[in-house]
Amino acid sequence: MILRVGEGLNTLLHLHHQRLVRADRGAHGRGSNRTGRGGGDVVLRVPPGTVVRVAGDEKIIGDLVDEGQEMVVARGGRGGRGNARFSTATNRAPRTAEDGQPGEQFELDLELKMLADVGLVGLPNAGKSTLLARVSAARPKVADYPFTTLEPYLGVVQAVDDELRTLVMADIPGLIEGAHDGAGLGTQFLRHVERCPVLAHLVDLADPTSVEGRVDTIRGELIAHEEPLETRPWVLVGTKTDAVGDREATLAELAEVAEGYGVAWRSISAVTGEGIDRLVGVLFEMIEGAKER
Ligand SMILES: Nc1nc2c(ncn2[C@@H]2O[C@H](COP(=O)(O)OP(=O)(O)OP(=O)(O)O)[C@@H](O)[C@H]2O)c(=O)[nH]1
Ligand SMILES: [Mg+2]
């Protein structure tokens, strides 16, 4: 039984309904010179970023990252040897053959922790998927209701001045208060940003409620998450500047919130394109900074 990192796979959903995976059985050895045949390999495709553990055990036995990377998770039993293998000088036609051995079997936990450079976080409707669609070829669904995105998406973003410089951006479902405790789509998705060296925190500027309150809600969730996301470098991104009511006051509030947290901020509109290139530039700088560290 082999796990192999498959091209273009982003999720483990294809395994969700296939809980039991069994390789072909081999056969026992037999008379008339027949060795039992071995069972065939079963290859399960998994997305890059799949972490493998034996069920109930914390220890990671595999971390599948690279395209095509493989891991043998269970070995098949040896086929039984046929009677010819038992022949000796005095017994040319032995009647002995061997039984095949059973293969290994156990329960595995597969967990996907995506590998992206930038993780987009924010409340539902903040404009995360719209941004990803704007800057990459990824096409996550966009709609004006919360929890449009139900599974993570990855997109490759090219630098504005150099198409060979790329970064991977991850769009995850919107977070809500209590996410770290499992509210909404919760921790399921927070863990996808655990490995992102940089986070972009999106906040909807067209929403008339307090920017500070909404940013604090998401920060609170990142801090309460079991893995330390609190110290992860991040940039505060105000979205939908084309639809904001009092532009000046709102941008001032955004700047103040960013200053309070001691982080950089940008404002963007996915509709007019305002601020998008500059944001992408900032993200590249932050990732390079994080890699140096
Ligand atoms: N006017 C305007 N609308 C925007 C902009 N960006 C996103 N929207 C709209 O905001 C709504 C939500 O956008 P999404 O990208 O689906 O938001 P999301 O953060 O991915 O939401 P979830 O997947 O539910 O977490 C959609 O109706 C978008 O068209 C923008 O720059 N300007
Ligand atoms: Mg979305």
pLDDT, mean of residues 72-87: 76
CB atoms within 10 A of CB 15: 14
- The pLDDT mean for the chain works out to 86
Q: Supply the pLDDT for residue 225.
A: 85
Rounded to an integer, what distance in angstroms lies between the CA atom of residue 169 and that of residue 120? 7
Q: Supply the pLDDT for residue 37.
A: 67
Are 214 and 163 members of one domain?
Answer: yes
Q: Supply the pLDDT for residue 36.
A: 65
Q: What are residue 267's DSSP bridge partners?
A: 238
Are 27 and 126 members of one domain?
Answer: no
Q: Which of 120, 123, 125, 218 to mutate to test the pocket of ligand 1 (most atoms within 8 A of CB)?
A: 125
Rounded to an integer, what distance in angstroms lies between the CA atom of residue 241 and that of residue 130? 13
Whole-angstrom CA distances from 82 to 24, 25, 32, 85, 233 are: 19, 17, 8, 6, 63
Whether the CB of 203 sits within 6 Å of ligand 1: no
What strands lie across the sheet with 198-204, from one edge to the other?
153-158, 166-171, 118-122, 198-204, 234-239, 264-267
Q: How many secondary structure helices (H) and strands (E) does the chain include?
A: 6, 12
Are 93 and 130 members of one domain?
Answer: no
C-alpha 199 – ligand 1 centre gap (Å): 18
Best CA proximity match to 11, nearest among 189, 158, 169: 189
Rounded to an integer, what distance in angstroms lies between the CA atom of residue 164 and that of residue 150? 30
Q: Which one is predicted more confidently, 37 or 116?
A: 116
Reported as a pLDDT band with limits 50, 70 and 90, residue 185 is low
Whether the CB of 238 sits within 6 Å of ligand 1: no
Q: How far is CA 229 from the centre of its chain?
A: 16
Last residue of a domain, one of 60, 79, 112: 112
Best CA proximity match to 53, nearest among 63, 45, 43: 63
Whether the CB of 151 sits within 6 Å of ligand 1: no
Q: Supply the pLDDT for residue 237.
A: 98
CB atoms within 10 A of CB 228: 10
C-alpha 34 – ligand 2 centre gap (Å): 59
Range of the structural domain that residue 139 is part of? 118-292
**Domain at 18, CATH number:** 2.70.210.12
pLDDT, mean of residues 93-97: 75
Are 30 and 60 members of one domain?
Answer: yes
Are 218 and 264 members of one domain?
Answer: yes
Predicted TM-score (pTM) of this structure: 0.74
Reported as a pLDDT band with limits 50, 70 and 90, residue 165 is confident
Are 152 and 264 members of one domain?
Answer: yes
Q: Which residues surround ligand 2, an ion (CB under 5 A)?
A: 129, 148-149
What's the domain count of the chain?
Answer: 2
Residue 151 tokens read as 């599974």
pLDDT at 79 over 70: no
Q: Supply the pLDDT for residue 187.
A: 67
Reported as a pLDDT band with limits 50, 70 and 90, residue 278 is very high
C-alpha 72 – ligand 1 centre gap (Å): 42
C-alpha 83 – ligand 2 centre gap (Å): 63
Are 101 and 13 members of one domain?
Answer: yes
pLDDT at 120 over 90: yes
Give per-residue pLDDT as tens, 219-231.
998 998 877 788 9
Give per-residue pLDDT as tens, 241-252.
999 999 999 999
Reported as a pLDDT band with limits 50, 70 and 90, residue 238 is very high
Q: Which of 130, 141, 244, 271 to mutate to test the pocket of ligand 1 (most atoms within 8 A of CB)?
A: 130
Are 181 and 251 members of one domain?
Answer: yes
Question: 170 exposed, middle or buried (CB, 10 Å; 0-12, 13-18, 19+)?
Answer: buried
Q: Which one is predicted more confidently, 253 or 61?
A: 253
pLDDT at 13 over 70: yes
Are 284 and 152 members of one domain?
Answer: yes
Q: Which one is predicted more confidently, 21 or 101?
A: 21
Last residue of a domain, one of 53, 77, 112: 112
Best CA proximity match to 76, nearest among 24, 36, 15, 29: 24
Whether the CB of 128 sits within 6 Å of ligand 1: yes
**Domain at 176, CATH number:** 3.40.50.300
pLDDT at 31 over 80: no
